[in-house]
């Protein structure tokens, strides 16, 4: 690490936001792994749970006993990022498809380049996916080519949701985003790109453990195309 | 400038070029009329090629699934000792 990076790193705090729904076991595992991989980093974990029926919030309370209430925060809704006290925000999934072991590489990339956003990409060498069948890969690749043809987004993985943002940048973009779901992720990165924010990528691996759930049926494809058309015209 | 305007400008430039070709008669008229179709078909083929190549080169990581299982076991062990309920899913 350079002297500049070390100087900058000392003052940074990272707020890691993890939305959950019925992730009783996974949230405990992911909190453990984050603490394991970010030993010398000033961070807090914000679990956003809207009252999952499986008692995820109870587990969060147990985790607070182990790690401290200042390091693990539970909240029912994100409410304009008010709960995040860091100057950087990481957003990741709770189901372990996003592995905390990549967090240091996100942080390092940001410190090296001063980027406003660092996004994880599954589609480059060093990254990858496990647990997808051929059909899933086909639709993913097709969607990617389509999006690149029409949107010229400047990133290789548009729908990825493992990202590090400068908090000020996140707050700036999120106000103009109206989509939901994975189109939300696309809209965020495309709007950031249009506004001229510097976006860097790091390879990540994505292990999809949700076997059998068809996340890409006909209606999802239609939704995607509508999202793409919307982004084409409004960004 | 909004992205859509960039695309429209690009299409306008291509159209102007095409009309220019029609009027200048450098290429036989019958060929020139077909040029837009050739362009669309070429783009389509290129797109399909990109999808095919991307599919073949799709990076996979089966070893990551194994590593993940190890991480999960390690995490469960630690958390159980600390009193966190890791029994159910």
The per-residue DSSP string of A97-164 comes to SB-GGGHHHHHHHHHHH--SEEEEESSSBTBEEES--HHHHHHHHHHHHHHHHHH--S-S-SS---EE
Q: What is the mean pLDDT of residues B68-89?
A: 88
All structural domains of chain A: 13-234 (3.90.550.10)
CA dihedral A27, A28, A32, A35 (to 10 degrees): 50
- As a whole number of angstroms, the distance between CA B36 and CA B15 comes to 9
Cβ distance of A125 and B64 shorter than 8 Å = no
Query: According to the model, what pLDDT value does residue A92 have?
Result: 93
pLDDT at B73: 94
Could you report the per-residue pLDDT of A60-108, keeping only the tens digit for each? 999 999 999 999 998 877 665 777 899 999 999 999 999 999 999 999 9
Instruction: Give the model confidence (pLDDT) of A144-168 as tens digits.
Output: 899 998 998 889 998 889 999 999 9
Distance CA A129, CA A211 (A): 13
Q: Which of A209 and A101 is assigned the larger pLDDT?
A: A101
Give B2 to chain A, closest Cα distance, Å.
Answer: 6
Across the interface, whether the CB atoms of B78 and A28 are under 8 A apart is answered: no
For residues A162 and A120, give the distance between their C-alpha atoms in angstroms, rounded to a whole number: 5
* Banded model confidence at residue B25, pLDDT cuts 50, 70, 90: confident
User: Is B83–A66 a contact, with Cβ atoms under 8 angstroms apart?
Assistant: yes
pLDDT band at B34 (very low <50, low <70, confident <90, very high): confident
**Cα–Cα distance for residue pair A133/A211, rounded to 1 Å:** 10
Question: What's the token pair of residue A41?
Answer: 């980093």
Residue (of A148, A92, A98) closest to A127 by Cα position: A98
> Distance between CA atoms of A19 and A56, rounded to whole angstroms?
11
The secondary element (H helix, E strand) that includes residue A16 is strand A14-20
Mean pLDDT of A171-181: 88
**CB atoms closer than 10 angstroms to residue B4:** 14
Provide the ipTM.
Answer: 0.83
């Amino acid at each position: 690490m350079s002297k500049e990076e070390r100087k900058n790193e000392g003052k940074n705090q990272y707020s890691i936001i993890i939305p959950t729904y019925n992730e009783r076991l996974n949230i405990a595992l992911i909190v453990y792994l984050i603490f394991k991989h970010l030993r010398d980093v000033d961070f807090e974990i914000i679990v956003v749970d809207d009252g999952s029926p499986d008692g995820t919030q109870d587990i969060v309370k147990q985790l607070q006993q182990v790690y401290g209430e200042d390091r693990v925060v539970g909240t029912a809704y994100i409410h304009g990022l008010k709960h995040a006290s860091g100057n950087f925000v990481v957003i990741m999934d709770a189901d372990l498809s996003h592995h905390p072991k990549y967090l240091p590489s996100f942080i390092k990339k940001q410190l090296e380049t001063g980027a406003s956003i660092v996004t994880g990409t599954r589609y480059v060498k060093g990254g990858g996916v496990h647990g997808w069948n051929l059909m899933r890969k086909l639709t993913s690749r097709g969607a990617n080519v389509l999006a690149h043809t029409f949107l010229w987004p400047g990133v290789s993985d548009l729908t990825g949701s493992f990202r590090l943002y400068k908090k000020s940048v996140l707050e700036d973009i999120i106000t103009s985003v109206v989509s939901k779901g994975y189109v939300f992720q696309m809209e965020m990165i495309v709007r950031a790109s249009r506004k001229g924010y510097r976006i860097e990528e790091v390879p990540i691996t994505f292990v999809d453990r949700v076997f059998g759930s068809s996340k890409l049926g006909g209606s999802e494809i239609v939704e995607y195309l509508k999202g793409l058309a919307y982004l084409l015209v409004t960004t | 400038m909004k992205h859509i305007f960039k695309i429209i400008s690009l299409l306008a430039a291509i159209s102007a070029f095409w009309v220019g070709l029609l009027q200048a008669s450098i290429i036989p008229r019958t060929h020139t009329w077909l040029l837009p179709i050739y362009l669309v078909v070429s783009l389509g083929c290129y797109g399909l090629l990109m999808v095919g190549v991307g599919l073949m080169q799709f990076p996979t990581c089966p070893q990551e699934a194994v590593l993940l299982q190890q991480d999960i076991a390690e995490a469960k062990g630690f958390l159980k000792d600390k009193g966190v309920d890791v029994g159910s899913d």
